């Protein structure tokens, strides 16, 4: 499960436009994604945040398609 975040920065996002078709989008989840010390995602974002790093967020369709891991369709 996720830790309860009580204060401070938890999710940061920045978007900038440089005149190209797609904006530059970056974000970070400062407290990482897992509370399990055995997980690769236990402190990955915390280390990235402390090093002033960002995650590249795919904004335009081509960027999203290039980073797609899988796709599911849900219907009733």
For 45-60, write each residue's pLDDT tens digit. Answer: 989 999 999 999 998 9
Torsion, Cα of 11, 69, 51, 26 (10° steps)? -50
For the segment 34-45, the average pLDDT, to the nearest whole number, is 90
Contact 34, 42 (CB under 8 A): yes
Average pLDDT of the residues of the chain = 87
Domain ranges within the chain, ordered by starting residue: 11-63
| pTM, 2 dp | 0.67
Q: Give the C-alpha separation, 53 to 14, whole Å.
A: 12
Q: Give the C-alpha separation, 11 to 44, whole Å.
A: 14
């Amino acid at each position: 499960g996720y830790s309860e975040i009580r204060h401070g920065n938890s999710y940061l996002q920045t978007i900038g436009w440089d005149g190209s078709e797609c904006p530059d989008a970056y974000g970070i989840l400062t407290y990482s994604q897992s509370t399990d010390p055995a997980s690769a995602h236990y402190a990955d974002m915390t280390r990235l945040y402390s090093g002033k790093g960002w995650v590249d967020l795919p904004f335009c369709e081509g960027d999203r398609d290039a980073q797609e891991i899988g796709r599911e369709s849900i219907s009733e």
